Amino acid sequence: MEKLYEILKSLHPDVDFTAEEDLIGKGILDSFDIVTLITEINSAYDVSIPAEEILPENFRSAAAIHALITRLDEA
Amino acid sequence: MQFNSIPFLLLLTAALVLYYCLPLRRRWYVLLGASYLYYLAAGAEYLVFILYTTAVSYLTGLWLGRRAMRDATALAAAGELPREERRARQAKDRRARFRILVGGLVLGFGMLAVLKYTGFVLSGVQAFVPTLRIPELLLPLGISFYTFQSMGYLIDVYRGKAQPERNPFRFALFVSYFPQILQGPISRFGDLEPQLFGEHRFQGERFRAGLARVVWGYFKKMVVADTAMIAVRTLVEQELTGAYVVLLILLYSAVIYGDFTGGIDITIGVSELFGVRLKENFDRPFASRSVKEYWRRWHITMGTWFTDYVFYPLSVCGPMQRLSKWSRAHLGAALGKRLPVYIATIVTWFLTGLWHGAGWNFIVWGLLNCLCIQVSQELQPLWRRWQAAAPRLCASRIWGCWQALRTFLLMGLIRSLDCYRNVPLTFRLWGSILTDFNWGQMLGDLTGLGLTPADWGVLAAGVLVQFAASLLGKREPLRERLSRRPVLLCACLTLGVIVILLFGSYGIGYDAGDFIYGQF
């Protein structure tokens, strides 16, 4: 999880990702961020987030993103 | 066979009677029969193309499904494998399935590309080789819609989001379902399949609501769109400048709104008569406050198709991820993270333009939409600062109206590329808005555009009725509110029919013209 926080912080240093629960709804993560995030996550976690997983519910919070990574890792 | 033609109404009536006479589980046979009859009426020669697309997507879907099952069984039989080995095996299997998918997509889109774009490509080549002969190819009815719907199905099967359909006749109905084949919505298999094959009992309330929606669609098309189209044709043919271009932008907005949303109302309403619920394709698009929002609310199913099947896959594909890393390392974080999304957005909008038509007008139309969205995205920080500086103004209704008006005019301007014969002419006419101040002449010349004062009155009243319906439906769609009041619904329905009969464009000698999106 720490690794994920680091990646997210590198995108938006001013956001408290441990508390934020609506990253998409509030416009904190836009399409540019999502694509960068996926590239970083794929590289850091050795997973491959496919296009069909780009859904608001998978990116709405750090916990949701982490759950997605775990799910893909265990697949 | 147009929606606003007697043969269509006869086919619909016969299909409805038969549909509700058959046992519940066999009712979809009627939909399949009616769909093929509808398609056959457009021309027997078109049948081969829809059969080809159906066969290609059906067989490829089956192949993908079988291959996925075989891969899963083999992986399970291999027992507990080391993580790396399991990953490598999954990746290999996925690549094999991807090759099958690509084969299906090439065959499916290949036919669309040959039929729709050969003339456009060869006309470009002809500029260098004047002796080149351009063959005249058929463009089957609704080919862009059924091809996209079928190819979307294949991608969903590949992704495991849809199970492959084993019954070829059921699949044929998914591809050819007649209310939507002409102009969408572009349905997903997972959404449409349970609707088409569900057991729909006759429900009076739902039937009445469907009927009201059909009448509302005819009103938009025949009273508003077809009337405005008469003046649009004159303005386009005479290439009138200045204030006339502004008039064209306004009138063509009325045309495209009435024509396309009206067509979709008819489609969804007709489906409701059979108990089949389709996805909504519009959400009060002219109330959008930005171009991005507009595209979330206009032709929704096409927008989500391109987002899900083109934009996101392209944005996160392997080469794009490598480009993302490289660009962030060499061009800086800000530009680096933007570059892949820029490229994916440009490609997506280029293809969206091309989907609408084989011509530079459509390509430029797509790219201008892309430009507006990108510029708006880049101006976001500035916009946030403005919001912080004037929070009360930005939250006011007046500001919201100004944003909606600005978006409406901008989209109308870009949309006028549909009308004029080429891009340079369109740009020249846009420029004339700033140079030819002929407003007085234009206002005095309104009856010279093919419409009588009474026609203008009908058109203005029709636009106002649509506007009022849109406002009233802001919180809850008007149809939902009316469906709770059957007497009022019946009154509206009757009134709608009378208005269409009195003021609609139809009859002997009248060429209603096709639905605009039916030509895409």
Q: What is the ipTM of this complex?
A: 0.82
The answer to whether the CB atoms of A43 and B325 lie below 8 A apart is yes
| Residue/partner pairs of A26-31 with CB below 8 Å, 24 or more apart | A29/A59, A30/B377, A31/B315, A31/B341
Task: Tell me how far apart the alpha carbons of residues B356 and B449 are, in angstroms, rounded to a whole number.
Answer: 28
Closest by CA position to B512, among listed B224, B183, B226: B226
Dihedral angle computed from the Cα positions of residues B498, B503, B507 and B510, in that order, rounded to the nearest 10 degrees: -160
Q: Band the pLDDT of B140: cuts 50, 70, 90.
A: confident
Instruction: With CB atoms and an 8 Å threshold, state whether A42 touches B161.
Output: no
CA distance B427 to chain A (A): 31
B296 close to A (CB below 8 A): no
Tell me which chain A residue has its CA closest to the CA of residue B321: A39
Report, as an integer, the average pLDDT of B301-308. 92
3-class DSSP state of B241:
coil
Give the pLDDT score at B287.
92
The model's pLDDT over B403-440, given as tens digits with 9 standing for 90+, comes to 999 999 999 999 999 999 999 999 999 999 999 888 88
Peptide bond between residue A56 and the one before it cis (omega within 30 degrees of 0)? no
Q: Is A39 on the interface with B (CB under 8 A)?
A: yes
Mark yes or no for CB contact A39/B321 under 8 Å. yes
CB contact under 8 A, B316 and A39: yes
- The arithmetic mean of pLDDT across residues B213-239, rounded, is 92
Max CA distance (Å), chain A: 34
Q: Which of B308, B40, B349, B48 is nearest to B153 (CA)?
A: B308
Span B81-88, mean pLDDT? Answer: 84
Residue of chain A minimizing CA distance to B157: A52
- Asked if residues B314 and B333 have their Cβ atoms less than 8 Å apart, the reply is no
Among B320, B159, B302, CA closest to A52: B159
Q: Does B340 touch chain A (CB under 8 A)?
A: yes
Q: Is B301 on the interface with A (CB under 8 A)?
A: no
- Residues of B numbered 130-169 whose beta carbons fall under 8 angstroms of chain A's beta carbons: which are they? 159, 161
Q: Which amino acid is at B23?
A: P
Collect all residues with Cβ–Cβ distance below 8 Å to B403 and sequence separation of at least 6.
B289, B290
Across the interface, whether the CB atoms of A32 and B159 are under 8 A apart is answered no
Task: Say if residues B30 and B276 touch (Cβ distance below 8 Å).
Answer: no
Question: Looking at residue B294, what is its pLDDT?
Answer: 92
The count of other CB atoms within 10 Å of the CB of residue B395 is: 10
Please give, rounded to a whole number of angstroms, the shortest distance from the CA of A18 to a CA of chain B: 23
Max Cα-Cα span within chain B:
83
**For residues B467 and B189, is the Cβ–Cβ distance under 8 A?**
no
**Res B333 pLDDT > 80:** no
Q: Which residues of chain A have pLDDT under 70?
A: none
Asked whether the beta carbons of A15 and A27 are under 8 A apart, the reply is no
Is the CB of B341 inside 8 Å of chain A's CB atoms?
A: yes
B248 C-beta neighbours (distance < 10 Å), count: 24
pLDDT > 60? residue B226: yes
- CATH tag, A2-74: 1.10.1200.10
Q: Report whether pLDDT(B329) > 90.
A: no
Residue with tokens 């609704």: B142
Q: Which residues of B touch A49 (CB under 8 A)?
A: 316
**Tokens matching residue B479:** 């149809």
Question: Cβ contacts of residue B45 below 8 Å, gap of 6+?
Answer: B138
| Beta-carbon separation of A51 and B341 below 8 A | no
Residue A74 near chain B (CB below 8 Å): no
| Cβ contact B221:B266 at 8 Å | yes
Please choose, from the candidates B9, B52, B56, the residue with its C-alpha nearest in 3D space to the C-alpha of residue B34. Answer: B9
Give me the pLDDT at residue B5, please: 81
Residues of B in contact with A75 (CB under 8 A): 90
Quick one: DSSP state of residue B134?
P
- Among A15-29, B174-188, B224-238, B262-276, whose mean pLDDT is lowest? A15-29
Q: Which residues does chain A have within 8 Å of residue B320's beta carbon, measured at their own beta carbons?
A: 35
Token pair 């069909």 in the structure block, residue: A52
Confidence (pLDDT) at B244? 95
**Nearest residue, CB atoms, B313 vs list A32, A36, A51:** A51
How far apart CA B286 and CA B412 sit, in angstroms, is: 10
Q: Is the pLDDT of residue B512 over 90?
A: no
Average pLDDT over residues B459-477: 88
Which chain A residue lies closest to B338 (C-alpha atoms)?
Answer: A32
Distance CA B347, CA B353 (A): 10
Does the structure show a pLDDT above 80 at B2? no
B316 → chain A, closest CA residue: A35
Query: Rounded to the nearest 5 degrees, what angle is found at the Cα of B15, between the Cα atoms of B11 and B18?
Result: 140
CB atoms A51 and B315 under 8 Å: yes
The pLDDT value given to residue B511: 53
B369 at interface of A, judged by CB pairs closer than 8 A: no
- What string of DSSP letters covers B450-489? T--HHHHHHHHHHHHHHHHHHHHTSSS-HHHHHHT-HHHH
Quickly state the pLDDT bin for B505 (edges 50, 70, 90).
low
Measured between alpha carbons, how far is residue B75 from residues A9, B72, B238, B259 in Å?
38, 5, 68, 52
* Position B474 confidence tier, pLDDT thresholds 50, 70, 90: confident
Cβ atoms of B238 and B232 closer than 8 Å: no
Domain segments of chain B as ranges: 6-201, 203-278+421-520, 288-403
Query: If pLDDT is split at 50, 70 and 90, which confidence band does B510 have?
Result: low
Task: Decide: pTM greater than 0.95.
Answer: no
- Residue B507 in tokens: 């009859």
Q: What is the pLDDT of residue B30?
A: 96
Contacting residues of B for A56, CB less than 8 Å apart: none
Confidence of residue B506 (pLDDT cuts 50, 70, 90): low
Determine, for residues A32 and B321 on separate chains, whether the beta-carbon distance falls below 8 Å. no
Instruction: Determine the Cα–Cα distance for residues B513 and B2; give it in Å rounded to an integer.
Output: 9
Chain A contact set for B339 (CB, 8 A): none
The string of pLDDT tens digits covering residues B394-404 is: 889 999 999 99
Q: How far is CA B105 from the centre of its chain?
A: 20
Of B12, B301, B14, B32, give the one whose Cα is nearest residue B176.
B32
Q: Is A1 helix (H, G, I), strand (E, B) or coil?
A: coil
Residue contact A35–B337, C-beta within 8 A = yes
CB contact under 8 A, A36 and B313: no
Per DSSP (E only), the strands in B194-285 are none
Whether residue B515 is predicted with pLDDT greater than 80 in this model: the reply is no
Nearest to B161 by CA among B40, B64, B251, B55: B64
* Candidate from A32, A42, A52 with C-beta closest to B341: A32
Across the interface, whether the CB atoms of A35 and B315 are under 8 A apart is answered yes
Quote the DSSP letter at residue B418. Answer: G
User: Which residues fall within 8 angstroms of residue B113, CB to CB, at 6 or more apart?
Assistant: none
